Amino acid sequence: MFSRRFDMGVKVGGAVAGTVALCVFLIGYFGVRNDVADVGYRPQQPVPFSHKVHAGYTQISCQYCHAGVEVSGHSPVPSVQTCMNCHTVVRNESPKLKLVRDNYEKGTPIEWVRIHKVPDYAHFNHSRHIRAQIDCKSCHGPVEEMGVVSQYKSLSMGWCLDCHRNPEQRIVGARPISGIFTGMKIDQKNMMDSTFLYKPLRAAQIAAVQPVVVPSYGFGQSPVPAQQVHGIPQPKQAGVGPENCSSCHY
């Protein structure tokens, strides 16, 4: 009934139309919706927790709640026990903390909604960056000023590579509020144990990086002296990060 040329045109036109429709859908889904991975993403949490009050006003360091971030590949969320360390006394009858008290009595965790997340095919190691004296603010922004935390950076591959290539322009050095390990011990006398007392850095120390091979292909090495610190992996200095695919995709 129809010519072979007409039939082929219908098939090709249908394939092109389907491809265009798929591209429009993907762009709309991943490019417009900010609940996928976008700057400004700010979900409603089960408990109205204010980082501005806790980290800003009361000066509770980040590492008190997100404990172990300097030795863990992932930044842990605070347990209910961590919350109740203070709130068994502080505002222990506040209706805003009812869910915290209930979960503490039941022994169940609070289901916080995750905000910052890289794709599953990308690997990000928190401890490696923390031990390089990179402050939380570098990626998460001024959290101590946020009443409600929102995503501050895009966390895209291009954003990561910009920091790896130009760390001196983008890295915020370890600050006291973060409470993260910097590897610089405070020399204090008459202290029972000064092993875990450290001096925060105001600005990141960028290590001199020499290419391992030429061209470098993103591989570099830094002459960083070893520091022996009990119980904590060897600290390092921030430097030009790797650009090879296998560093983040494996």
pLDDT in tens, 215-246: 766 566 665 544 444 555 555 556 677 888 88
Tell me which residue of 224, 222, 227, 214 sits closest to 241, measured CA to CA. 222
Q: What is the mean pLDDT of residues 187-214?
A: 53
**Average pLDDT rounded to a whole number, residues 151-158:** 89
Tell me the whole-structure pTM to 2 decimals: 0.69
More confident residue, 92 or 223: 92
Q: What is the 3-state secondary structure (H, E, C) of 122-171?
A: CCCCHHHHHCCCECCHHHHCCHHHCCCCCCCCCCCHHHHHHHHHCHHHHC
pLDDT for 23-78, tens place per residue?
888 777 666 554 445 788 888 899 999 999 999 999 898 888 998 887 888 888 89
Question: Is it the case that residue 198 has pLDDT exceeding 80?
Answer: no
Report helix angle 80-87 to 98-106, nearest 10: 120
Q: What is the pLDDT of residue 192?
A: 43
Nearest to 62 by CA among 128, 111, 135, 150: 135
The continuous run of DSSP H or E covering 7 comes out as helix 4-31
